[in-house]
Amino acid sequence: MRVDIVTIFPEMVRGFVREGIVARAHERGVVDLAVHDLRDFTTDRHRVVDDAPFGGGPGMVLKPEPFFRAVAHIRATRGEPSKVIVPGPQGRRFTHETAVAWSRAEHLVLLCGRYEGIDERVVEALATDEVSIGDYVLSGGELAAMVVADAVVRQVPGVVGDARSVSEDSFARPWLDYPHYTRPADWEGRRVPEVLLSGHHGQVARWRLRTALERTLDRRPDLLDGPGFPGESLPQETQAEVERVLRQIRAERLARGPERQEREQES
């Protein structure tokens, strides 16, 4: 897979490319990620990339020409992109499903905005997709582009060493992960749950499913009544087990009473 990121802050993105998952994918020859400085595609002496918005108002807007020249350069030197993605708060939500779908693409281009954003004609003429990574305000598209690249690249076969780590990722399942522990078994009096030291794989699996579902009920109940639940791709017996454990947790909580539950959640 090829990935090209166009930005006015190439050094910000290069750090991400040098470390972690994308670097590993690059070493393994699975992903080829290139960062392009938008200023290299200006034609004026001062390399100006922004201008005041038509219609007035605060801030600056990124000019169209450098983006058109950058994408033409990428087409000529790196081939026709499968997708040209513009991260922005006006985009459709980027989700795990999007990451999985885009991991099958041959060539992704990500265009990063700054200031008030990018001239809309760039989005109209060049973008295949406009995506937002979440409901909070970032100062530019770079962090969002890196989030998208990271999430997509780790779905490409051969990037994450142990394929189980990918298929067992939370959001690959429609509930949250269970808590993790490593040595020592006692850290200043804080003990690892006894069942994890027991060597009983069946008990460990049941404990993990139960704590995962308890956390999900507490922190992300929306995941459990969403349309993605209990998940079409899960084996039937897993689905049935999940439903059974959920009913059990809910029944226990009802029996315990709501006041006690609130106190327990605080501690």
Q: How far is the CB of 150 from ligand JD8 (least distance, A)?
A: 14
Residue pair 131/148 in contact by the 8 Å Cβ criterion:
yes
User: Between residue 87 and residue 106, which ones bind ligand JD8 under the rule CB under 6 A?
Assistant: 87-89, 91
Q: How far is the CB of 246 from ligand JD8 (least distance, A)?
A: 31
Q: How far is the CB of 102 from ligand JD8 (least distance, A)?
A: 14
Q: How far is the CB of 144 from ligand JD8 (least distance, A)?
A: 3
- A 10 A CB-CB count for 92 gives 10
The alpha carbon torsion through 65, 71, 76, 80 (nearest 10 deg) reads -150
Number of chain positions touching ligand JD8 (CB under 6 A): 18
Distances (CA, A) of 75 to 13, 103, 238: 21, 20, 46
Q: From CA 199, how far away is CA 197, in angstroms rounded?
A: 6
Nearer to ligand JD8, 142 or 175 (CB): 142
Catalytic residue among 14, 53, 78, 116: 116
Query: Is 64 annotated as catalytic?
Result: no
- How long, in residues, is the chain? 267
Q: Quick check: 117 binds ligand JD8 (CB under 6 A)?
A: yes
Distances (CA, A) of 230 to 115, 129, 233, 242: 41, 29, 9, 8
Q: Quick check: 64 binds ligand JD8 (CB under 6 A)?
A: no
Site residues, ligand JD8 (CB under 6 A)? 87-89, 91, 113-114, 116-117, 132-134, 136-141, 144
Active site (catalytic) residues: 89, 116, 154, 169
